[in-house]
């Protein structure tokens, strides 16, 4: 005899059902569907992400091996490979994209108390993209290079919470800088990006919107020094200058003053040149902003290592985007649970590890982690990427 509810069912309780139903209704996801509805599709794909399944057949086999528990997991009418495959191929991926955004908004509110530093109380965002390679023979629509296919995940991540606020999935061929044209700039916020996004006209749009940017200077960028400010070489600041763009075309694209900071890394002696439109923060604060940008690179490595977004369960663009957005939803859902259950002593990796082996258990979800031996010492022992233990 057992008592209580399945761990998987308790986990799904943290999903806002009304919001999910609105997303489904908006895109008519359940039209002409009798048995395998959008909620069942989401649950099956989320189960696959949580338990590290290798494909749709793997998901279906694992679920049907516990067929007497499917009803208690929220799955009605059973699960078949054909139903799941057709749902991924045909149901609008925007259902899951918009629902992921609902979860992101919830997570951002939960982590709102975490500020970047005492000096910077405004929101800080990191921008970057990652390419996911695809086989052209299986994904002919994802043409990237002559012998290689791929898609890009353009991401805006809120720091220090490590919650992705915007994810845009595009073809891999267009340059990253085009993403700035679609970016909705938040006045007063800081946007940190690498030198691949260095474009004066697009940076000037951020400046006119009342926001700040921090990026690295390209080697061929022509800048003319106007003023030199006080520097502190003891902490690695080589120079702190007010500059103007000095190229033939760049001055018209960015007619306002800029701030260039040169910094020598005390660890390896490398010299970095940063460019920003913020003149109020100290030079060392600007360098620390750029240093924090590596969290978004860690995020990309983390999701590729722990979520199923490198190998796909369907070959259409709809199936690929559906899988990615449900994976993002699972990531954010676990981040929400970490905060709501006060699991600050657990890394996101360890939470996923516990959930991956207990979906069919009847333990109380909060008690499950309190009894886990992974707490505290387990976080230090694990050699996996740990996004929330930085």
User: 31-53, pLDDT tens digit by residue?
Assistant: 988 889 999 999 999 999 999 99
Task: Please tell me the distance from the alpha carbon of residue 291 to that of residue 214, in angstroms, as a whole number.
Answer: 10
Cβ 180 vs Cβ 207: under 8 Å: no
Cβ 352 vs Cβ 126: under 8 Å: no
Task: Please tell me the distance from the alpha carbon of residue 188 to that of residue 124, in angstroms, as a whole number.
Answer: 9
pTM summary value: 0.89
Average pLDDT, the chain: 89
Task: Please tell me the distance from the alpha carbon of residue 384 to that of residue 305, in angstroms, as a whole number.
Answer: 9
Task: Please tell me the distance from the alpha carbon of residue 274 to that of residue 258, in angstroms, as a whole number.
Answer: 10
Reply yes or no on whether the pLDDT at 290 is more than 70.
yes
Q: Which of 4-8, 42-46, 85-89, 285-289 has the lowest mean pLDDT?
A: 4-8
> Which two tokens mark 283?
């030079």
Pinpoint the alpha helices (H) of the chain. 7-12, 17-26, 38-50, 56-64, 70-73, 81-90, 94-110, 179-182, 200-208, 250-253, 283-291, 294-306, 317-340, 348-356, 365-370, 377-381
CATH of the domain spanning 194-277:
2.20.25
Question: Do the bridges between strand 148-159 and strand 124-134 make them parallel or antiparallel, or are there none, so unpaired?
Answer: antiparallel
Give the residue extent of every domain in the chain: 7-96+311-381, 194-277
User: 230-277, pLDDT tens digit by residue?
Assistant: 888 889 999 999 999 887 667 778 989 999 999 998 888 899 999 999
User: 72-111, pLDDT tens digit by residue?
Assistant: 888 876 799 999 999 999 999 999 999 999 999 999 999 8
CA within 13 Å, CB half, 223: 25
Reply yes or no on whether the pLDDT at 308 is more than 70.
yes
Q: What percent of the chain has pLDDT over 90?
A: 64
Q: Name the residue with tokens 């994802």.
A: 142
CB atoms within 10 A of CB 135: 14
Closest residue by Cα to residue 183 from 202, 201, 204, 199: 202
């Amino acid at each position: 005899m057992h008592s209580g509810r399945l761990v998987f069912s308790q986990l799904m309780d943290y999903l806002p059902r009304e919001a999910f139903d609105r997303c489904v209704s908006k895109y008519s996801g359940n039209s002409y569907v009798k048995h395998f509805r959008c909620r069942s599709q989401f649950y099956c794909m989320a189960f696959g992400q949580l338990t590290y399944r290798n494909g749709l057949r793997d998901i279906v086999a694992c679920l049907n091996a516990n067929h007497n528990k499917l009803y208690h997991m929220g799955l009605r009418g059973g699960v078949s490979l054909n139903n799941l495959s057709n749902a991924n191929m045909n149901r609008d991926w925007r259902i899951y994209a918009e629902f992921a955004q609902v979860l992101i908004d919830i997570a951002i509110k939960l982590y709102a108390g975490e500020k970047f530093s005492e000096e910077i109380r405004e929101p800080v965002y990191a921008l970057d993209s990652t390419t996911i390679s695809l086989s052209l023979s299986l994904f002919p629509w994802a043409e990237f290079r002559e012998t290689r296919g791929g898609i890009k995940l353009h991401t805006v991540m809120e720091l220090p919470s490590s919650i992705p606020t915007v994810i845009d999935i595009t073809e891999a061929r267009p340059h990253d800088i085009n993403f700035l044209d679609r970016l909705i700039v938040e006045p007063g916020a800081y946007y940190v990006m690498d030198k691949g996004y260095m474009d004066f006209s697009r940076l000037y749009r951020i400046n006119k919107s009342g926001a700040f940017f921090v990026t690295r200077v390209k080697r061929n960028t022509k800048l003319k020094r106007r003023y030199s400010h006080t520097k502190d070489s003891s902490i690695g600041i080589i120079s702190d200058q007010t500059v103007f763009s000095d190229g033939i075309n760049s001055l018209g694209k960015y007619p306002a003053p800029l701030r260039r900071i040169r910094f020598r890394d005390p660890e390896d002696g490398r010299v970095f040149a940063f460019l920003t439109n913020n003149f109020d923060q100290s030079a060392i604060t600007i360098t620390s902003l750029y240093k924090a940008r590596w969290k978004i690179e860690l995020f990309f490595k983390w999701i590729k290592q722990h979520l199923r977004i490198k190998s796909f369960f369907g070959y259409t663009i709809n199936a690929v985007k559906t899988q990615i957005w449900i994976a993002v939803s699972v990531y954010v859902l676990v981040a929400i649970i970490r905060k709501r259950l006060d699991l600050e002593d657990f890394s996101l990796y360890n939470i996923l590890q516990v959930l991956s082996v207990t979906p069919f258990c009847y333990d109380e979800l909060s008690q499950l982690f309190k009894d886990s031996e992974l707490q505290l010492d387990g976080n230090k022992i694990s050699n996996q990427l740990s996004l929330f233990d930085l």
